Amino acid sequence: MSNNLPAELRYTKTHEWVRRNSDGTVTIGITDHAQHALGDIVFAETPESGRALAAGDACAVVESVKAASDVYSPLAGTVVAGNAALADAPEKINTDPYGEGWLWQLTPADVGAVDALLDAAGYQSVLAESEE
């Protein structure tokens, strides 16, 4: 079981992470736990720039050899860009889930909403509960 949970990130119960960037945007991906549970990732579909998202929208898809999984937007906002590098190298989500394996960048409608997400300890307890 993977416990790689960077303290500077925020998390969701549905296994996304959110990083605050200095320019007011956020970067979003799936957690190490999520990539590990999915297995070898062979395809990712990310939202197009300019798309308006509501919190909870299924806006990206990550597919392992075995199955497709929706990824939900942790926040409302407007998509700045999807991670185009994943088209040729979707395995970056496995190898570097918090770095090169990011999925999309977003300008949040309400930047304060980031603080309402789970911190690393809160996400850790979500994982602990699902283990039981």
Partner 1 sequence: MTQQTPLYGQHVALGARVVDFGGWDMPLHYGSQLDEHHIVRRAAGVFDVSHMRAVDVEGSDAVAFLGHLLANDVHRLQVPGKALYSCMLNEHGGVLDDLIVYYRGPGRYRVVVNAGTAAKDLAWIRRHAEPFSVRIAERDDLAMVAVQGPKARALTAGLWAAAHSAAALALEPFFATEWGGESGLFVGRTGYTGEDGFEVMLPAAEAVSFWQRLLAAGVLPCGLGARDTLRLEAGMNLYGNDMDETTTPLESGLGWTVALNTPRDFIGRAALEAQQRSGVPQRLVGLLLEERGILRSHQSVHSPAGEGHTTSGTYSPTLERSIALARVPAGTGAEVEVDIRGKRLRARVVRPPFVRHGKAMISL
Residues that bind partner 1 (CB under 8 A): 39-40, 42-43, 45, 61, 63-68, 87
* H or E element, residue 25: none
The span from the CA of 112 to the CA of 41, in Å, is: 32
Nearest residue (CB) to partner 1, 103 versus 118: 103
Buried b / exposed e over 32-51, threshold 16 CB at 10 Å, is: bbbbeebeebeebbbbeeeb
Nearest residue (CB) to partner 1, 72 versus 114: 72
Nearest residue (CB) to partner 1, 65 versus 85: 65
User: Which SS3 state, helix, strand or coil, does residue 39 take?
Assistant: coil
Nearest residue (CB) to partner 1, 65 versus 121: 65
Residues 6+ apart with CB under 8 A from 112: none
Minimal distance, residue 128 CB to partner 1, in Å: 19
Minimal distance, residue 30 CB to partner 1, in Å: 17
Minimal distance, residue 42 CB to partner 1, in Å: 4
Minimal distance, residue 65 CB to partner 1, in Å: 5
Among left, alpha and beta (phi > 0; psi -120 to 50; other), residue 59 is alpha
Nearest Cα to Cα of residue 12 among 70, 84, 85, 66: 70
